[in-house]
């Protein structure tokens, strides 16, 4: 696409001292969206319409700052600058090989009359939504300052159907609730809060990305982009049950953010469309992030991996080497500690996974539980729960390195911090150096438990800064990061594409810790995945966890076929085949799909989508002529009807279909599946039955 | 000295379940000191006598731990193990070339009846005092735990004369108060607390090292050794005005320390002697620290330095490059900022100091204000006040490096953290790497202002861990550390001799910020210096700060001759000649002493000493036949009478004497001095007049 950028002459308003501004508007490039900015009695507000229908009604804006008048009132407009852009860029990895960045922009420069302080608000209106942010320009009487509260509102135009999780500032690992806006407060109080460890101050507080659907059929998603040096945004409904107010995670002082002008606040985004699929393919979040800051990205590679992990999750084996609690990092020589006999990360077992990875074409093997500390790591008071440098005595680091190298398999290191970021930062350079010295190019980091800096939570400014610090330092070492329990992503992977994954939602592991809702994977792409990929760890074939550990009553809330679909519907450049090698050997025909599915994409098409109900997505593999299709649905069996008009015309393909049987049901018959083939062209269409909690996967191969 | 170590057969007590233990005693090797341990109704206590006279009366011991019964009661004695040692070791640098470590030891192993928890107390009794510490052995029902309070007492046997500073947990930069114990509370309430920023909870709280003198003429010093992973100790007098209770700096949670067994609490030390000089030469603090953990110490070198510093302290020049506050790290290109024209750390000025250092035989040049951030650094709210990597545009890092190298002069980097340890830890590796890349082997670090982790103070456990982290990481890079505003030292320089200095007391800079008491340098060696050397920055010749900055009314509370004495009386392997080169050129004859004085010592003799009144010390230069003598006194003029019997017999020496004149007086005539020579032998004695706030320095050279 031709690079195109046009700047409309800055419009200097005649009434610079006016505190009332007749609405100033911009339209999206396709004219469907319209954003109005107004200043009434000094109060700034914005509103958003889709085809003349209000999506966001006039909503106030601003920041409350400690020790000075709120930057939300008493404003005059200094100037309004209009601009636009239409260009495209290529992500290092992604759902499409090219991303178009096409918007109209309005920059409103405000001055507070009484104080002379300056606040700019920048709006970018795309065809699929709006982004806006506050910018504090450099100025004499606003230097270091403390944000007490953000005053941004999102006034909804109806009692929308909403897919939400509660406003915890330490975790997003919840099942989604589906309700009307007006039902959130009651559900929180009666159902959700009793189960929470850290309930929000106001019960009607929910997390973003927040997905809604209006009675008129508009799909609306509120989130943020480029969360840097600022707490994560949550939303609180006021008594009207229509008006969302921004809530930010507290820091230890009870404030929100310490900033210094010049600075920008993260973008607030409202993605909106009459088609649910447009929410899934929106690139607003990425487009509002800075371009890639890593010069050489040749070392950043999407990958599929297996790992010593699910066997611990199910309780078949253990992270810890011993069952003794009388051990201490820096004191105990673990060679003389009695092993418990079920330590997963032992050399022989890791080599078994390496063999399996090599034989089946996986890029890498993750090993958790390799380093000392697992006997006492959780719930302790120490700031130093883990050693990132010392393997357990049965984990032979050089031998495993050599074994993996000989088989052409990479290793993924694991760093569990247990919330002690000081401990992690202390050892980070050495830990990354150890990784590089032993051939590890990627790290899975973890932030389980309370943050050990008192008063700080996972989503406060200090932790936000830590996560990005770890990613940037990892980039210095050419290490890819997959951070679990960190803040949910906001598109920063554009700027730092070595951030190849996050968990930051309720993942497959929860099938062993209480279960996932059956509709979970029909919601996550509309919520959690708006900000970036998730290491969901799909591919669990053995539905009954008791098969691995007789004491584990856990079940997978999905059919086996749907487990395959998730490799396509849950976009990620990092995909795990999470089940055990012996299980994959048992179901080798179904496993074939996981072996073949791509992890990087040329193009993406949403074939069917309704949040909470079903999602069907087709993706073209990058550098291959193959397409892959995945479909997931909720507890209601359905018939998916798709056509293949996205394929090049006139070519023939084989569709290898991995589907539920007529009897498949996530509860009663989860492991029944069928595999069959069809010859198809761009003119073909298919009807495929999906069982309750089911779905299907298709590998579309050119016919040779 | 022959290495000698004897272990007395473990004495297994007959009454293992007894909660009362008749006092079990040990004596110092010379039998003058006696320590009694007792267990009465399950309560452990210790007492200390000197020649049969109580120094510490029976005092309770123990720890209050969160969520469990205090580890201070309900004990039985499991066993008592007696041991002794007599060996010696060579410090990398120090007041003497050899240090003897000679003690009797008693290890008391206690078990709490109700809980079964184990607590060991280890006592070491030297000829010059007692050290004891708590040790938590590994045990099943005490793993991670939180110290709420330390219950150690020091019950004094009289209303001693005491030299104290208030129990601030953010600063030791106070003048000393001299009073009876019974006067502390009143003085704190009426005089001291009104001047403090962070007064202690109980006004009768003072810092250590605490120096006392009993009516019977016993000199008593309470401090701690090997402060690692634990808050700094302070002392609180109870209503009796005799009993000291340990107070620890709070952490942000309001507790004291998070620990995991096995672990040890820092040593508590009581140095005691009838001779004041023995306090100054005691090696208890060093002996109770671990041996050196740095294998190759060849890069650790005592040094004398000059620096771009006093000119900023006096206000003649500035740390900041500009007077603009509209600058921001990471945003501003300082090349386009208007300079203020008085930035000290500019290339030409630094080169002037390098010339001066080279010409006069100094090892190094310190430069403060070289890096960006000084415009907005103080009192802001940001966690990122400084950049440790980017010089101001007028500081040409490579040019200065080359210029210094050509002249054979080392450079000392400056890292001011402004209390933001997260920011420092983020950049520490890069900052140290930058130093090494540009020839810097030493860093002066600073911790001015509030700690930016809310609720944490300079002396809490987290900061204690930070300081040591910085020193250990610096050692990895072969960098020496001189940490200002860090916790006062506790002998850790034995273990990490790259910790070549600390400030951690009111130094010479305060002559520009309110003044030093005239007797300050007669007290510091008895208090602050017990734990390790201080970068006091002596050598100020120009008594009137208005000579550099007409707006500065500051004065030096010392005669010029006493400024020379401090190079001997204030032991440090790092000594600054703090005044400006042009001033030294004006007083070249007096400056000769600074040029010649050693910084590392073969031997040390205290010739005269009385805390608060005077100190006269002679030291033999390491590797030279020269001795140096310094004498400092309070506001009372006096005649110092010394003899030279420490010199080898039969040899002749020239004593070059830098002394006050009869008219010298720190207030009325501070800059009058005289220099004269005498031929002396071991049989000689001298009387030297010292003016008010005066003193003298002598360079004793072999007669050729």
pLDDT value, residue B380: 63
pLDDT value, residue B376: 85
- Counting residues of chain B whose pLDDT is more than 70, the rounded percentage is 96
The per-residue pLDDT for range B227-258, each reduced to its tens digit, is: 999 999 999 999 999 999 999 999 988 999 99
The per-residue pLDDT for range B351-405, each reduced to its tens digit, is: 999 999 999 999 999 999 999 999 988 876 677 889 899 999 999 999 999 999 9
User: What are the tokens at A677?
Assistant: 């083939």
Chain B nearest C-alpha distance from A444 (Å)? 20
pLDDT band per the 50, 70, 90 thresholds, residue A381: low
User: What are the tokens at A356?
Assistant: 């399996």
Contact A380 B144 (CB under 8 A): yes
pLDDT value, residue B414: 98
The per-residue pLDDT for range B280-339, each reduced to its tens digit, is: 999 999 999 999 999 999 999 999 999 999 999 999 999 999 998 788 888 889 999 999
Q: Are residues B282 and B382 in the same domain?
A: no
pLDDT value, residue A59: 98
Residue with the larger pLDDT of the pair A704 and A632: A632
What are the DSSP calls for B621-684, one per residue? ETTSS-EEEEEEE-SS-EEEEEE-TTSPTT--EEEEEEEE-TT-BTTTBTT-EEEEEEEE-TT-
Chain A nearest C-alpha distance from B704 (Å)? 55
pLDDT value, residue B19: 61
Chain A to chain B, count of Cβ pairs less than 8 Å apart?
A: 92
3-state helix, strand, coil in chain A (%, to 5): 20, 35, 45
pLDDT value, residue B381: 64
The per-residue pLDDT for range A526-557, each reduced to its tens digit, is: 999 999 999 999 999 999 999 999 999 999 99
pLDDT band per the 50, 70, 90 thresholds, residue A198: confident
Q: Are residues A327 and A393 in the same domain?
A: yes
Chain B nearest C-alpha distance from A137 (Å)? 10
* Among the partner residues B260, B454, B455, nearest to A382 by beta-carbon distance: B260
Q: Which pTM was predicted?
A: 0.84
In a domain, A438, yes or no: yes
pLDDT of B530 > 70? The answer is: yes
Contact B383 A258 (CB under 8 A): yes
* Among the partner residues A144, A383, A465, nearest to B376 by beta-carbon distance: A144
The per-residue pLDDT for range A125-168, each reduced to its tens digit, is: 999 999 999 999 999 889 889 999 999 999 999 999 999 999 99
If interface means Cβ-Cβ distance under 8 Å, which residues of chain B face chain A?
Answer: 138-140, 143-146, 251-253, 258-263, 325-326, 328, 331, 376, 380-383, 422, 425-426, 429, 453-455, 462, 465, 469
What are the DSSP calls for B258-304, one per residue? EEESSEEPPEEEEEEESSHHHHHH--HHHHTSPPP--S--TT---EE
Q: How many residues does chain A have?
A: 704
In a domain, A128, yes or no: yes
- The closest of A558, A484, A481 to A522, measured between CA atoms, is A558
In a domain, B180, yes or no: no
User: CA A189, A195, A197: angle at the middle one, nearest 5?
Assistant: 105
Residues of A in contact with B326 (CB under 8 A): 138-140, 143
Contact B382 A144 (CB under 8 A): yes
Cα dihedral A400, A405, A408, A409 in deg (nearest 10):
40
* Among the partner residues B259, B260, B380, nearest to A260 by beta-carbon distance: B380
The per-residue pLDDT for range A258-311, each reduced to its tens digit, is: 999 999 999 999 999 999 999 999 999 999 999 999 999 999 999 999 999 999
Q: Are residues A533 and A434 in the same domain?
A: yes
Q: Are residues B282 and B321 in the same domain?
A: no
Residue with the larger pLDDT of the pair A60 and B9: A60
Mean pLDDT over the full length of chain B: 95
pLDDT value, residue B10: 41
Q: Are residues A513 and A562 in the same domain?
A: yes
- Counting residues of chain A whose pLDDT is more than 70, the rounded percentage is 96
Cα dihedral A494, A499, A505, A510 in deg (nearest 10):
150
Lowest mean pLDDT among A219-233, A381-395, A526-540, B650-664: A381-395
Q: Are residues A244 and A359 in the same domain?
A: no
- Report how far residue B248's alpha carbon sits from residue B231's, in angstroms, rounded to the nearest whole number: 6
pLDDT band per the 50, 70, 90 thresholds, residue B13: very low
If interface means Cβ-Cβ distance under 8 Å, which residues of chain A face chain B?
Answer: 138-140, 143-146, 251-253, 258-263, 325-326, 328, 331, 376, 380-383, 422, 425-426, 429, 453-455, 462, 465, 469
Contact B331 A465 (CB under 8 A): no
Contact B462 A144 (CB under 8 A): no
Q: Are residues A248 and A332 in the same domain?
A: no
Can you tell me whether residue B252 is helix, strand or coil?
coil
What CATH number is given to the structural domain containing B242? 2.70.98.10
For chain A, the distance separating the N- and C-terminal CA atoms, rounded to the nearest angstrom, is: 33
pLDDT value, residue A423: 87
- Of A575, A598, A621, the one marking the end of a domain is A598
In a domain, A513, yes or no: yes
- Of B571, B598, B625, the one marking the end of a domain is B598
Can you tell me whether residue A374 is helix, strand or coil?
coil
- Report how far residue A177's alpha carbon sits from residue A188's, in angstroms, rounded to the nearest whole number: 9
Contact B146 A325 (CB under 8 A): no
Given B416, B485, B509, B542, which residue is catalytic? B509
In a domain, B638, yes or no: no
- The closest of A183, A582, A534, A83 to A356, measured between CA atoms, is A582
The phi and psi torsions of A184 (rounded to 5 degrees) equal -60, -50
pLDDT of A36 > 60? The answer is: yes
* Pick among A454, A460, A461 to test the B interface (most B CBs inside 10 A): A454
- Of B575, B598, B621, the one marking the end of a domain is B598
- Report how far residue A128's alpha carbon sits from residue A645's, in angstroms, rounded to the nearest whole number: 23
Q: Are residues A236 and A357 in the same domain?
A: no
- Report how far residue B407's alpha carbon sits from residue A184's, in angstroms, rounded to the nearest whole number: 74
User: What are the tokens at B496?
Assistant: 């990490």
Contact A326 B140 (CB under 8 A): yes
In a domain, B201, yes or no: no
Q: Are residues A311 and A253 in the same domain?
A: no
Contact A143 B259 (CB under 8 A): no
pLDDT value, residue A197: 81
User: What are the tokens at B199?
Assistant: 């007064």
pLDDT value, residue A582: 97
Lowest mean pLDDT among A563-577, B7-21, B65-79: B7-21
Chain B nearest C-alpha distance from A296 (Å)? 20
Helices in A515-604 by DSSP H: which ranges? Answer: 520-523, 560-569, 581-586, 588-596
The per-residue pLDDT for range B649-661, each reduced to its tens digit, is: 999 999 999 999 9
Provide the residue range defining the domain that includes B114: 5-157+225-268+276-287
Domain count of the fold of chain B:
2
Residues of B in contact with A429 (CB under 8 A): 429
pLDDT band per the 50, 70, 90 thresholds, residue B21: low
pLDDT value, residue B17: 45
| Kind of pairing between the strands at B303-308 and B364-367 | parallel
In a domain, B696, yes or no: no
Q: Are residues A252 and A319 in the same domain?
A: no
- Report how far residue A627's alpha carbon sits from residue A645's, in angstroms, rounded to the nearest whole number: 12
Q: Are residues A281 and A324 in the same domain?
A: no
- Counting residues of chain A whose pLDDT is more than 90, the rounded percentage is 90
A 10 A CB-CB count for A598 gives 21
Residues of B in contact with A383 (CB under 8 A): 258, 462, 465
The per-residue pLDDT for range B136-163, each reduced to its tens digit, is: 999 988 988 999 999 999 999 999 999 9
pLDDT band per the 50, 70, 90 thresholds, residue B275: very high
pLDDT value, residue B502: 97
Active site residue B509: yes
pLDDT band per the 50, 70, 90 thresholds, residue A19: low
In a domain, A621, yes or no: no
- By the 8 A CB rule, do B497 and B482 touch? no
Chain B nearest C-alpha distance from A146 (Å)? 7
- Report how far residue B577's alpha carbon sits from residue B540's, in angstroms, rounded to the nearest whole number: 8
pLDDT value, residue A426: 85
Contact A381 B465 (CB under 8 A): no
Structure ipTM = 0.71
Contact B426 A469 (CB under 8 A): yes
Residues of A in contact with B426 (CB under 8 A): 425, 469
Residues of B in contact with A258 (CB under 8 A): 381-383
Contact A462 B383 (CB under 8 A): yes
C-alpha distances in Å from residue A594, one per residue of A309, A444, A556, A567, A625 = 18, 21, 18, 8, 17
- Counting residues of chain B whose pLDDT is more than 90, the rounded percentage is 90
* Among the partner residues B253, B259, B260, nearest to A454 by beta-carbon distance: B253
Q: Are residues B252 and B307 in the same domain?
A: no
The per-residue pLDDT for range B482-523, each reduced to its tens digit, is: 999 999 999 999 999 999 999 999 999 999 999 999 999 999
What CATH number is given to the structural domain containing A389? 3.20.20.70
pLDDT value, residue A515: 95
The per-residue pLDDT for range B456-484, each reduced to its tens digit, is: 999 999 999 999 999 999 999 999 999 99
- The closest of A76, A198, A185 to A455, measured between CA atoms, is A198
pLDDT value, residue B662: 97
């Amino acid at each position: 696409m031709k690079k195109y950028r046009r700047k409309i002459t800055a419009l200097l308003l005649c009434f610079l001292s006016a505190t009332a501004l007749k609405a100033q508007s911009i339209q999206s490039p396709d004219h469907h969206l319209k954003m109005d900015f107004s200043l009434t009695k000094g109060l700034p507000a914005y509103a958003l319409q889709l085809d003349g229908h209000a999506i966001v009604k006039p909503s106030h804006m601003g920041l409350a700052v400690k020790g000075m008048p709120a930057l939300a009132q008493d404003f005059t407009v200094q100037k309004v600058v209009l601009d636009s852009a239409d260009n495209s860029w290529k992500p290092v990895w992604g759902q499409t090989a090219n991303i178009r960045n096409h918007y109209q922009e309005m920059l409103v420069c405000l001055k507070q009359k009484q104080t002379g302080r300056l606040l700019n608000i920048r709006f970018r209106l795309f065809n699929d939504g709006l982004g806006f942010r506050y910018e504090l320009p450099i100025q004499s009487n606003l230097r270091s300052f403390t944000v007490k509260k953000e005053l941004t509102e999102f006034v909804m135009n109806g009692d929308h159907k909403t897919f939400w999780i509660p406003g915890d500032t330490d975790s997003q690992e919840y099942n989604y609730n589906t309700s009307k806006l007006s039902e959130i407060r009651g559900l929180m109080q009666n159902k959700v809060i009793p189960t929470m460890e850290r309930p929000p101050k106001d019960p009607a507080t929910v997390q973003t990305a927040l997905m809604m659907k209006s009675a008129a059929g508009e799909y609306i998603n509120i989130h943020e982009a480029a969360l840097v040096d600022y707490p994560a945004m949550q939303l609180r409904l006021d008594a009207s049950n229509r008006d969302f107010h921004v809530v930010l995670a507290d820091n230890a002082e009870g404030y929100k953010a310490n900033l210094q002008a010049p600075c920008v606040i993260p973008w607030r985004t409202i993605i909106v469309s009459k088609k649910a699929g447009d929410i899934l393919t929106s690139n607003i979040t990425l487009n509002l992030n800075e371009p890639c800051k890593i010069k050489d990205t040749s070392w950043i590679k999407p990958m599929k991996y297996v790992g010593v992990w699910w066997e611990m999750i199910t309780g078949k084996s253990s992270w810890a080497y011993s069952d003794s609690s009388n051990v201490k990092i820096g004191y105990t020589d673990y060679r003389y500690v009695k092993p418990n006999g079920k330590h997963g990360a032992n050399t022989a077992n890791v080599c078994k996974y390496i063999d399996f990875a090599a034989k089946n074409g996986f890029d890498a093997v993750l090993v958790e539980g390799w380093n000392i500390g697992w006997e006492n790591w959780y719930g302790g008071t120490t700031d130093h729960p883990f050693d990132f440098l010392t393997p357990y005595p049965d984990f032979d680091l050089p031998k495993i390195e050599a074994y993996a190298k000989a088989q052409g398999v990479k290793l993924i290191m694991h760093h569990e911090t247990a919330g002690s970021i000081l401990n992690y930062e202390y050892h980070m350079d050495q830990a990354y150096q150890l990784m590089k010295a032993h051939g590890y190019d990627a790290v899975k980091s973890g932030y389980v438990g309370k943050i050990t800096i008192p008063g700080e939570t996972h989503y406060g400014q200090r932790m936000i800064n830590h996560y990005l610090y770890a990613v940037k330092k990892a980039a210095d070492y050419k290490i890819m990061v997959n951070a679990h329990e960190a803040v949910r992503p906001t598109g920063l992977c554009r700027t730092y594409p070595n951030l190849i994954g996050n968990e930051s939602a309720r993942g497959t592991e929860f099938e062993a810790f209480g279960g996932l809702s059956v509709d979970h994977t029909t919601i996550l792409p509309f919520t959690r995945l708006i900000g970036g990929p998730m290491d969901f760890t799909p591919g669990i074939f053995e539905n009954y966890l008791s098969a691995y550990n007789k004491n584990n009553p856990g079940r997978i809330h999905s059919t086996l076929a749907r487990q395959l679909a998730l490799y396509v519907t849950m976009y990620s450049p990092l995909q795990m085949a999470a089940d055990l090698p012996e299980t994959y050997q048992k179901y080798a025909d179904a496993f074939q799909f996981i072996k073949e599915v791509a992890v990087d994409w040329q193009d993406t098409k949403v074939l069917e989508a309704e949040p909470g109900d079903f999602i069907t997505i087709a993706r073209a593999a990058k550098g291959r002529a193959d397409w892959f299709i995945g479909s997931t649905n909720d507890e209601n069996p359905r018939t998916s009807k798709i056509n293949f008009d996205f394929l090049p015309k006139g070519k023939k393909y084989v569709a290898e279909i991995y589907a539920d049987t007529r009897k498949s049901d996530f509860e009663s018959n989860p492991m029944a599946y069928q595999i069959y083939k069809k010859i198809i062209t761009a003119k073909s269409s298919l009807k495929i039955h999906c069982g309750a909690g089911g779905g299907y996967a298709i590998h579309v191969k050119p016919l040779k």
